[in-house]
Structure 1
Amino acid sequence: MIPRNLRHLRLFLAVADLKSLTLASQKCRVTQPAVSQAIGKMETAAGGTLFERTKQGFFLTSRGEVLAGRVARAFAILDPALSDISQRLCLTMTFAQLQALIAVRETENYTLAARRLGVAQPTVHRAVSQIEREAKSGLFKRTSFGIVATRACQALTQAARLAICELDQADSELAERDGRDIGRIVIGALPLSRSALLPEVLVRFRKLRPNLSISVLDGPYDELLAGLRRGEIDFLLGALRDPAPIGDIRQRRLFDDSLVLLCGRDHPLAKKRGVAPRDLASYPWIVPRTGTPTRLQFDALYDNLEQSAPIGIIESGSILLMREMLNLSDHLGCISRLQAEAELSKGLLVELDFIMDQPNRPIGMTTRHNWIPTAAQQQLLDILQAVEPCRDKL
């Protein structure tokens, strides 16, 4: 791993820009031996030379270009947030201070933050106090619920998370050059993708990258979106939102999906031809939670039928729960057709013979707007696009 020494990383970028140890030392106001020592340590950690030393100056190697690109992106994210608080923080902020700031912001408690970082509580308090002295203002407000970050602190911790993510990406890309896989790919998986898309994609990817760790996180869309924006998740996979909920993300459609109305095998409507709107009104429902694309379409269905929305709805996006409840009761279910594909093909559930007048839903991936994937991440994205045609026919 590249050492998380912000000062050394700035020296590295200065040498890459000025192509001279002397000029870099003058710009950063440190001695030339200090610059040389910092570059040497980084080259050892990077697994190879970062500069070609010539009479004309220092020029980045291909390995150095990989690192310089990621480090430049990290500071392009971090420095504006630091400058908004204090220009001096661009010179004085350390990685340990950033970690302390993030931990306190997330836990809203110095003791919990220290426990997360594995250090003493006074160490965390001192790190935050040093930042506040440079900023000449407080970054946290004490409330009855804990220590709450100011708006400026929230912006800084968000930038710090994304900057750290870029450095992690640099580690992965440098390891890739040496034929190694390090780090992990984190996928935020919405219900449809977990059952109908990811299994095939991950099996294909595992054949190409047997040693790379993969984490698949599930949860409500809002929680996964927050993790994506913090840099904790690489991309989301599932139903796209229209319009996009915020401007710093990018949505890419892969294919379309439709809704299906379901019942158990012994339900009174299971064998009925031409199910009418009035037939639906007398049964309880299991549908995804309020705010999801499927629920919005379900609510629109009842609006189009000019009927009152059913009461006593059970909210769940789990096809497993829905399958069991539909076969144990007279409940009806509404869910993604792709998500129910396995249950329908095996005869575990029955599709109602009801004409759905609802538009298809776009399914795809959501990323941060300026995200640049590593080679391994791009490989996984390519596989996602490769399986698209076999989904379009459904």
Structure 2
Amino acid sequence: MLDRHAIPNFRRLLAFDAAAETNSLSRAAQMLRLSQPALTHSIAQLEAELGERLFERSPEGAFLNEAGRVFHRRSTRFFEQIRRALAVAGGRGVGAATVDLRISKLATAQVRGLLAIWRAGSFRAAARDLGIAAASLQRPARDIEQIVGVPLYRRSALGLTVNETGAELARRLALAVGEIRSGAEEIGAASQARASLRVGVLALAPRVLLARASGAVLTEGGLQRIEVVEGPYAQIASDLNDGALDLVFGALRAPPPFADLVEEPLFEDPYAIACRHGHPLTQSRVVKPSALARFDWLHPTAGLPRRDVLDELTEAWGLAAKVQFETTCLTTITALLASSDRLSILSRWHIDLDGRLARVNLPPIPHARRDVGLTFRRNWLPTPFQAQFMEGLRKEAKAIAA
């Protein structure tokens, strides 16, 4: 269950949730129209899967223990996400009773199939990823479409894939599934990934802060795991919105590109002109912009925010408009700066934290305010491990800002 793409068993979660709400196995069984032995068996299977007992049973009823209360918080959020997903997919005319009826009909195989098609891009690719024949995927895929009551698929150049409604339903279902994974981690379900975090990191984010915050929460021989994913902002933000990432650290866009994302500024990190230590321009206490025209430039790739700023400076300062070298690779830019007299534009803290680079002593570069911070989903509930990491990152950012 702790695998990021594993799908929890809906029947077991419904049984657990009903028993948690009623404090009675018999009343929960009646609510779900199951026999009490069948409901008890479903809960026992869930407890076995998690490796933890969730209830204390007595003649007065079945009551959640501490692990059960923690897991119930996540299962409640799971079903809230499912309800929102089905309500959005079904349109305005869908009432709460209809949504609950549809939830009762959902099966694990149906959700697994829809998510696989969404992630893979087509029925054929999804079947290959699941290790089944494409024909075997047709039934669960069509069943969930009938349950939701609206078309979820369309024809494309790659074959049959999800349409806009299907993609949004799949995204919301993926976020719901993440709640169960987080709940399993919180109660310490046996796994080498017991406490996990996936962080998206943008190009100029100060890596030293990430390293310090990670070192503070990772214990020697512990079961914690932090995975850092680097990439362009558009992809990182999309992965965060889809639930593939838990958190993003780096420059904020204000506002973010998706309505479900929120930003938390940590410190300002404006752009500056970068060069190597010992560069001729570092010999002057104050450098005039006209002096920059004597040197070649390393350009960020067109479309990046700092490239837009550099293009504006090129025109304002009368610099040569020629572009001899451009790249998205920050490591390459840094290496070339350190080994030549070329110039480039980087963030202030990136320059200061790299021992090979220096800032050209210019007045502040005119550009829109640039804050570094955290981006996360609006209704995200971090696990204790994730919250501890965030607090450590905030602490390190506060120190560097001071």
Asked if 1:93 corresponds to 2:141, the answer is no
For 1:182 and 1:24, the matched residues in 2 are separated by 30
CA gap of 1:195–1:22, structure 2 versus 1, over 3 A, is closer
Q: CA deviation at 1:193?
A: 2.9
Matched-pair contact (CA < 8 Å) for 2:254–2:263: no
Amino acid at match of 1:42: L
For 1:387 and 1:179, the matched residues in 2 are separated by 30
Amino acid at match of 2:157: S
Partner residue of 2:95?
A: none
SS in 2 for 1:89: helix
Amino acid at match of 1:239: A
For 1:290 and 1:57, the matched residues in 2 are separated by 65
Of the candidates 270, 283, 286, which is equivalent to residue 258 of structure 1?
A: 270
Partner residue of 2:297?
A: 285
Superimposed CA distance per residue, residues 138-169 of structure 1 (whole angstroms, 9 cap, x where no aligned partner) = 32111224334222211210111101111110
Partner residue of 1:349?
A: 357
SS in 2 for 1:372: coil
Asked if 1:239 corresponds to 2:251, the answer is yes
Partner residue of 1:166?
A: 179
For 1:241 and 1:119, the matched residues in 2 are separated by 42
Of the candidates 235, 238, 248, which is equivalent to residue 226 of structure 1?
A: 238
Partner residue of 2:93?
A: none
Partner residue of 1:50?
A: 54
Stretch moving more, 199-208 or 283-292: 283-292
Q: CA deviation at 1:267?
A: 5.4
Amino acid at match of 1:274: V
For 1:57 and 1:210, the matched residues in 2 are separated by 37
Stretch moving more, 144-153 or 333-342: 144-153
SS in 1 for 2:223: coil
Q: CA deviation at 1:189?
A: 0.8
Q: CA deviation at 1:299?
A: 4.8
SS in 1 for 2:126: helix
SS in 1 for 2:349: coil
Asked if 1:248 corresponds to 2:252, the answer is no
Partner residue of 1:339?
A: 350
Stretch moving more, 106-115 or 204-213: 204-213
CA gap of 1:205–1:290, structure 2 versus 1, over 3 A, is farther
CA gap of 1:122–1:183, structure 2 versus 1, over 3 A, is farther
Of the candidates 123, 127, 150, which is equivalent to residue 110 of structure 1?
A: 123
For 1:334 and 1:187, the matched residues in 2 are separated by 25
CA gap of 1:91–1:217, structure 2 versus 1, over 3 A, is same
Consecutive unaligned residues of structure 2, counting only runs of 5 or more, are 91-97
For 1:223 and 1:330, the matched residues in 2 are separated by 33
For 1:11 and 1:207, the matched residues in 2 are separated by 36
Q: CA deviation at 1:321?
A: 1.1
CA gap of 1:134–1:314, structure 2 versus 1, over 3 A, is same
CA gap of 1:135–1:369, structure 2 versus 1, over 3 A, is closer
Kindly report the root-mean-square deviation, in angstroms, between the aligned alpha carbons of the 2 structures.
2.9
Amino acid at match of 1:312: V
Q: CA deviation at 1:49?
A: 2.8
Amino acid at match of 2:247: F
Counting matched residue pairs gives 388
Consecutive unaligned residues of structure 1, counting only runs of 5 or more, are none
Amino acid at match of 2:228: V
Partner residue of 1:383?
A: 392
Matched-pair contact (CA < 8 Å) for 2:241–2:258: no
TM-score w.r.t. length of structure 2 = 0.86
Identity %: 29
SS in 1 for 2:219: helix
Amino acid at match of 2:370: R
Amino acid at match of 1:247: A
Residues 290-369 of structure 1 aligned to structure 2 (within 5 Å) = 290=302, 292-299=304-311, 301=313, 305=316, 307=318, 310-312=321-323, 314-316=325-327, 318-327=329-338, 330-343=341-354, 345=355, 348-358=356-366, 361-369=370-378
CA gap of 1:309–1:367, structure 2 versus 1, over 3 A, is farther
SS in 1 for 2:371: strand
CA gap of 1:159–1:389, structure 2 versus 1, over 3 A, is closer
TM-score w.r.t. length of structure 1 = 0.87
Residues 114-133 of structure 1 aligned to structure 2 (within 5 Å) = 114-133=127-146
Asked if 1:374 corresponds to 2:383, the answer is yes
Matched-pair contact (CA < 8 Å) for 1:241–1:293: no
Q: CA deviation at 1:77?
A: 0.8
Asked if 1:21 corresponds to 2:13, the answer is no
Matched-pair contact (CA < 8 Å) for 1:71–1:166: yes
SS in 1 for 2:350: coil
Matched-pair contact (CA < 8 Å) for 2:217–2:385: no
CA gap of 1:248–1:315, structure 2 versus 1, over 3 A, is farther
Matched-pair contact (CA < 8 Å) for 2:273–2:343: yes
Partner residue of 2:152?
A: 139
CA gap of 1:147–1:179, structure 2 versus 1, over 3 A, is closer
Partner residue of 2:216?
A: 204
CA gap of 1:35–1:322, structure 2 versus 1, over 3 A, is same
CA gap of 1:148–1:70, structure 2 versus 1, over 3 A, is same
CA gap of 1:48–1:264, structure 2 versus 1, over 3 A, is closer
SS in 2 for 1:269: helix
Stretch moving more, 181-190 or 220-229: 181-190
Q: CA deviation at 1:205?
A: 2.3
CA gap of 1:255–1:266, structure 2 versus 1, over 3 A, is closer
